[in-house]
Amino acid sequence: MDTRTATGIGQPLAARVQVDADDPDAFNHCFAELNGIRMHYIDEGQGPLVILLHGFPYLWYMWRRQIAVLAEAGYRVVVPDQRGFGQTDRPDAIEAYDMSQAVGDMVGLMATLGETSAVIIGHDLGAWVAQAAAMLRPDLFRGLVMLNTPVPPRGKVKPTIGLQAMAKGRVYHHLYFQQLHKPDRELASDPRKTLRSVFYSISGSAVGAERWRLFVEPGEPILNAFTEPKGEFPSWLSPRALDYYVTEYTRTGFTGALNYYRCRDRNWEITAFLDGALVRQPSMFIGGAADPSLEPDEIRALYERLDTYLPGLQKKVLLPGVGHSAAEESVDQVNELLLTFLEQLER
């Protein structure tokens, strides 16, 4: 099944988005049955396919200021809510969120769209899915862009063991999310405060003690690692945009999203056949120079060595003053980088 809402149809996307780029009804919303779930996605423009994957705690909506630009440049831009997020189904089983299912969703989505080739672009958690898709199905995904999260190859050590070594007795957020129920309840207790605190603390707008602490002490609540801004949120995230995120996460909760992190070890266990595999397609990395997630030496080293993991790496850049939400914090720079990369692929 593939159904479009009537909202906005009949007007060019550019005309709709210029009215209010933060209006979720300015886009064509579609649904499809694929890989055992009902997936919600945005489908705009015509031309070579570009798939945009959001991270956590985001939704398709984080790409709202990229969609029109890419569509106007001559691309078909498809932007799903990944399983567990937004208007897409949220299976109960934790294993339903492993990487084989997440990549399977993208393969199924392309089949639904009648497409056989795509450039896949992922942010944060979406970068993990995009990297795995490019590695597992190079016949379908001809180019890869990762935002803010430099995804490594499989590695020799089970992820939770490696993260424990990095944390040195503290608790990294991926480890915190291994707990069942507790993180879900904490994040959902006040979704507005949670999202304001997370979006602010991980951004380039936060300074000093306001910035996200990547590690908490044993027994310390995860939300202690974030600071809610005083007063109005910085201008890069409007009140209307924040309201959309809050409404969706209030409705869905956070469990589906957290289940991806609970599959970290499972993903490692089921991908022994990928030991030593590389992504050889043309690729690019866009990060933020003020992104707290890049501060640990082990994570920064992944960024420094990206060209060894991605032999087709064409560019890697850290945007000054930008944090973990590059696509929202630095719209024009991200759009220019994406367009340049895509244009080079078509030459």
Q: Write down the domain spans for the chain.
A: 3-346
Say how many C-beta atoms besides its own lie within 10 A of residue 142's C-beta. 16
Q: How many CB atoms lie within 10 A of CB 255?
A: 20
pTM above 0.85, yes or no: yes
Catalytic residues: 124, 324
* DSSP 8-class letter at 150: -
Distance, CA of 50 to CA of 243 (rounded, Å):
27
Question: Which segments of the chain have a pLDDT < 50?
Answer: 1-19
Q: Which fold has domain 3-346?
A: Rossmann fold (3.40.50)
Render 173-216 in DSSP notation, one character per residue: HHHHTTSSSHHHHHHHSSHHHHHHHHHHHTSTT--GGGSPPSEE
pLDDT for 21: 85
Please tell me the predicted confidence (pLDDT) of residue 84.
98
- pLDDT on residue 247: 98
Distance from the Cα of residue 327 to its chain's centroid: 10
Residue 152: per-residue pLDDT: 86
Q: Edge to edge, what strands does the sheet with 76-80 contain? A: 3-4, 29-34, 37-44, 76-80, 49-53, 118-123, 141-147, 283-288, 313-319
159-167 own/partner pairs: CB under 8 Å, 24+ apart:
159/264, 159/265, 159/267, 159/268, 160/264, 160/265, 166/296, 166/298, 167/215
Question: Cα torsion for 81, 86, 88, 94, to the nearest 10°?
Answer: 100
Rg (CA), the chain: 19
What is the per-residue pLDDT for 332?
97
Beta strand 118-123 with 141-147 is parallel
* Tens of pLDDT, residues 266-313: 999 999 999 999 999 999 999 999 999 999 999 999 999 999 999 999
Looking at residue 111, its pLDDT comes to 98
